Chain A
Amino acid sequence: MWFKLFRIKNYRSIVDTGWNELASDNITGLIGQNESGKTSILEALNSFYSGKISDDILRSDLSLPEVSCSFSLTSAELKKFFSEKKVPEKILDLIHKSGQIALTRTWNADMSSYLSFGDEQVREFYMELEDKQKAFEEKTLSGLYRVLEEAKKAEGDRGNALMEKEETKKELRALELILARARKIDGKKPTKDTQNQLQKLLLEEERLKKRFEKKKSALESRSGRLADLSDNSRFAQLCLDTLDELDKAKGLWEESYRELYDIQIYFDSLHTEREIKGIKGKLDMVNANHLKNDRKLEKSRSRASFSVAVTSRILKGMDPSEAEDLVEKEIRKQAAYYSEFELAEQAFMHIPIFELFEDFSSLLPNRIDLEDIFTANSAVEGFKAARNFLIVSGLKSTFFEERSSRILKQKIEKLNNDLSLNFQDYWRQNLGKDNKIEIHFELEHYDNTHPDKMGKPYLEFWIKDEQERLYPKQRSRGVRWFLSFYLELKANAIENKDRSRVFLIDEPGLSLHARAQEDVLAVFEDIKDDIQIMYSTHSPHLININKLYRLLAIQRAVEDDMKSETVIFDPRSLNEASTDTLSPIYTLMGTKLSDHQFVKKKNNVIVEDTPTYYYLSTIFSLAGYKKEMYFLPATDVNNVPTLVNLLIGWKLDFVVLLDDDSDGNRIYRELRRTHYHDNDEIASRKLIRLDSGGSVEDLFSTIDFKNFVLHKRVGITESNSEYIEMNELSKAKLASDFILDVQNNKIKLEDFDDETIDNISRLIKKLDNVLS
């Protein structure tokens, strides 16, 4: 897995960086002025890995930070890393399509954080699932209430029906008494009246009997309904009880979390051991209580979701035991897939380890006891540097178990040679004249001057050059810094072969000489196949001019306004960054030129700017031009006359090569008038113009420009230089990419078409005619 992209939101001066790509060859540099936000980017990425942030990173609007990182993932890795469960089909498709997985860490107001898996599309997928689940729960809950309501109503209805039945029964009984009496009277002395009265009562009895029967059947029907509903309402009530239980568990969890959070903050603020000891017991107790509540909450949550799922099916008419079986089956099926949280957790276990290096303060000591190293006594001075030294040397404790002191000495001597050679590959800085330093170590034993340690072994370190052998502490801080840096990086690379790493290095080599800073870059180059590096710098010496694609330019949205947000310019839009931000690049271009000691007695060719210098030097070398000539770049066309005056003053021979554009022509006329008194014959021998109608980029045919400089397929109807200007492209970046391609043998002279070759030949001929 390689770290590919990052996006930071709401972190100190950063509002939203958008997605930014890391350099494809694993070394990414952040350039920018002080306070531009370079360190914030490194810290944010470190926070992504560690999950830790401090109060001071929060923005004034208290919007919470979020850091997303995307990593490459091959099909084999996908299979290997996510083997325990199944990845949902849709997410698999998305991963296969992009070849990357993204992780986002979001912080809560209490500084705790959580990881989420995937980019916006994946998150949308899980959000949809969540919404569906929520809708299902809400629907079930309203169903539960409805059932309970109905059951309650049915109970009322049954009660009413019962009452009505009883009342009718009562009426019927009363009527039966009256009827018995009427029968008696009529039996004794039947008259027409008694007969009529009896008839009436009989009719009334029949009516009441019918009514009673009706009430009886109504009661039966209500009772039946109540019986039907009572099962469902019982299940509904049970489900509501589990939801209540969940609410209570949540309440308890929040309460214990708050208590733990407060006590933890208090604990972290303590300084004395006594205070710490005093509160430690309480902290442990609260922690244990919170853990208990956490487990309880988890249990309640799964019980509630199970109950909701089962009850919803029962309410739809399913048999309770069947519903339980079905839900259990569904849960098992669901459990076979990774949840969003599990995916994030699983991915996080395999992403590269991020390490932030702010300083390399553990400098190599003069001596260290072997016992301290092998018992990992980190409190001892220089422990980390000495431990790193042993890792880089490949030394284990068994090495020192060799009984023969002669063999051990030989081994050490050999090792010292190997190690110094390796170190010298990077440390090119000369000490004194031709001396280069070597690191040596020796195994010694304490004598009787140290009675408490007498006979115990210790390692002694030396930094040696041809003239003298000195203890590390007798060397400059710069040498010791570089050594510690070298040891740390190398040791880390050796120790963690199984998992890739991302080193975030803030301002490496701040105290080093320019040459030594370049050596730092060499170390980066050496470890970049194992470790990805992102570093911040102001120094031009920590930038490779041929690899500007490695740079991200960091600056404030409003220059000089430290309250405005941090913005990032990727290598394709470096030209949009401010001059101050890009100053290391400009300085470097100048510095590199000065390395060449480029002003010679004759055949100096003054050109307008550095891109022209780089193009022409490269093209003339591609064309195999043999005559010695030296291109001198002015920093701008307007500075050409100054350079001309300088060379005239130094009595150095030169010609001036100007662009065939308005500025070039203006300077041409100015020089012809001021230096050559408008004498065309002399001027034509000293002042040359690129005759392809524009700037150095116009030496290329449009097709070659597109294929070898622009690397883009687009119709260009204007001149190449006009295209660059109109599209606001960085001339320096294009020149740098072109040079890199030539250096890597990706471009040869024969790749150019006839038009380009003609243009180059004409220019060579033109210059050749005027050079001596």
Chain B
Amino acid sequence: MDYFKEIALEQDLITKISEQRDKIQHQQKELAESLKYASSIQSALLPDLRYFKKLFPENFVMFKPRDIVSGDFYWYGRKGSRVAVAAADCTGHGVPGAFMSMLGISFLDEIVSKGVPGANSILNRLRENVMKALHQTGEVGEHKDGMDIALCVFDLEKMEMEYSGAFNPLYLIRKGVLHETRGDKMPIGINAVVEKSFTNHCIKLKQGDLIYLFSDGYADQFGGPYNKKFKYNPLKELLVKISKKPLEAQKKDLERSFIKWKADCEQLDDVLLIGLKI
């Protein structure tokens, strides 16, 4: 009698567990589908790279989200002869990062809608928009979300560019030598100290100059023989090493090098790297 009772109970348990498994699988599927859908919306919001190719015939965008949706985003906007290009990295990754990135893209589009202002002016205005949207006033306990960004404004007629950065730097390789311009040490969003204007760096361009904008995902990836970060100096060396190659080949090298470094480690953050040739 007891034996039959045990069997019945076991069967009952198995049914319950399989029901729950089915439920979880269903939820997972739904979640994956909605994330996939969100990802397609995010992709649609990201600017069309075909048109970007017309502005910069030689370019690459290495964009490797950690999850289905990404907290990093690339963006460009054009009015007349002025083109603004940005690589941004929102706080968090996955869904929260994606929300922030959508805000960032919309704000940037709006800022350049009547003309492309100075690079620092774009960042100043972007910060105002983010602070306003997130109701940031510097009070204790509020959300400190924001984004880091490197943004350039090119005037290819005048062969000039402006760069302004929130933490993220600009690398320019000219004749095989890498020149780094550092961004200001303040984010797009509320900061511990009062807001100051972002610095506008004006740079004269030369034919063949290589410009790189990126998030911290590549340099911060753990891996290698001692499971350490890739870091910025190796990235600089790598960029200089491959600088003579065409941009498409550079992208492949960068991807290969990233995969090799990462090996079996998990990708820790979204990765974004933009390369342009003048």
Give residues in A with beta carbon < 8 Å to B: 701-703, 706-707, 712-717, 753-755
Q: Residues of A contacting B138 with CB < 8 Å?
A: 713
A699 to B80, CA, bound (A): 26
**Contact, CB under 8 Å: A714 / B137:** yes
Q: Tell me the smallest distance from the CB of A580 to a CB of chain B, in Å.
A: 34
| Residue B241, interface by CB 8 Å | no
Q: Tell me the smallest distance from the CB of B6 to a CB of chain A, in Å.
A: 57
A701 to B120, CA, bound (A): 12
Q: Residues of B contacting A716 with CB < 8 Å?
A: 128, 132
Q: Residues of A contacting B134 with CB < 8 Å?
A: 715
Q: Residues of B contacting A717 with CB < 8 Å?
A: 125, 128-129, 132
Q: Tell me the smallest distance from the CB of A316 to a CB of chain B, in Å.
A: 48
**Contact, CB under 8 Å: A753 / B131:** no
**Contact, CB under 8 Å: A702 / B137:** no
**Contact, CB under 8 Å: B197 / A713:** no
| Residue B85, interface by CB 8 Å | no
Q: Residues of B contacting A706 with CB < 8 Å?
A: 194-195
| Residue B196, interface by CB 8 Å | yes
Partner of B195, one of A707, A754, A755: A707
**Contact, CB under 8 Å: B131 / A714:** yes
**Contact, CB under 8 Å: B128 / A702:** yes
**Contact, CB under 8 Å: B197 / A715:** no
**Chain A, residue nearest B133 (CB):** A715
Most buried by A among B128, B135, B138, B194: B128
Q: Residues of B contacting A712 with CB < 8 Å?
A: 137
**Chain B, residue nearest A707 (CB):** B194
> Could you count the A-B residue pairs with CB atoms below 8 Å apart for me: how many are there?
48
- Give per-residue flags for B214-231: 1 if the beta carbon is below 8 A from chain A beta carbons, else 0: 000000000000000000
Q: Residues of B contacting A753 with CB < 8 Å?
A: 196-197
| Residue B136, interface by CB 8 Å | yes
**Contact, CB under 8 Å: B200 / A713:** no
**Chain B, residue nearest A753 (CB):** B197
**Contact, CB under 8 Å: A713 / B190:** yes
Q: Tell me the smallest distance from the CB of A489 to a CB of chain B, in Å.
A: 41
| Residue B91, interface by CB 8 Å | no
Q: How many residues in B have their beta carbons less than 8 Å from beta carbons of A?
A: 21
**Contact, CB under 8 Å: A703 / B196:** yes
A735 to B101, CA, bound (A): 38
Q: Residues of B contacting A713 with CB < 8 Å?
A: 131, 136-138, 190, 194-195
Q: Residues of A contacting B195 with CB < 8 Å?
A: 703, 706-707, 713
Q: In the A-B complex, list the 3 residue pairs whose CB atoms are closest, starting with the nearest.
A: A715-B132, A715-B131, A753-B197
Q: Tell me the smallest distance from the CB of B200 to a CB of chain A, in Å.
A: 7
Instruction: Please list 17 pairs of residues, one from A and one from B, whose beta carbons are closer than 8 Å in the complex, sorted by A's number.
Output: A702-B124, A703-B124, A703-B195, A703-B197, A706-B194, A713-B131, A713-B136, A713-B194, A714-B132, A715-B128, A715-B129, A715-B131, A715-B133, A717-B129, A753-B197, A755-B121, A755-B197
| Residue B108, interface by CB 8 Å | no
Q: B residues 114-171 with Cβ under 8 Å of A?
A: 121, 124-125, 127-138
Q: Tell me the smallest distance from the CB of B13 to a CB of chain A, in Å.
A: 53
Q: Residues of A contacting B136 with CB < 8 Å?
A: 713-715
**Chain B, residue nearest A702 (CB):** B128
**Chain A, residue nearest B193 (CB):** A713
**Contact, CB under 8 Å: B194 / A701:** no
**Chain A, residue nearest B200 (CB):** A754
A701 to B128, CA, bound (A): 12
A707 to B124, CA, bound (A): 14
Most buried by A among B129, B134, B138, B195: B195
**Chain A, residue nearest B134 (CB):** A715
Q: Tell me the smallest distance from the CB of A713 to a CB of chain B, in Å.
A: 4
Please give 20 more A-B residue pairs, beta carbons under 8 A apart, in addition to A707-B195, A713-B194, A715-B128.
A701-B124, A701-B197, A702-B125, A703-B124, A703-B195, A703-B197, A706-B195, A713-B136, A713-B138, A713-B195, A714-B132, A715-B127, A715-B133, A715-B134, A715-B136, A716-B128, A716-B132, A717-B129, A754-B197, A755-B121
Q: Tell me the smallest distance from the CB of B195 to a CB of chain A, in Å.
A: 5
Q: Tell me the smallest distance from the CB of B186 to a CB of chain A, in Å.
A: 11
A574 to B121, CA, bound (A): 34
**Chain B, residue nearest A704 (CB):** B197
A385 to B121, CA, bound (A): 65
Q: Tell me the smallest distance from the CB of A625 to a CB of chain B, in Å.
A: 23
Q: Residues of B contacting A755 with CB < 8 Å?
A: 121, 124, 197
Q: Tell me the smallest distance from the CB of B192 to a CB of chain A, in Å.
A: 11
A712 to B190, CA, bound (A): 12
A706 to B131, CA, bound (A): 13
A124 to B52, CA, bound (A): 67
Most buried by A among B131, B190, B200: B131
Most buried by B among A707, A717, A753: A717
A716 to B128, CA, bound (A): 5
Q: Tell me the smallest distance from the CB of A724 to a CB of chain B, in Å.
A: 15
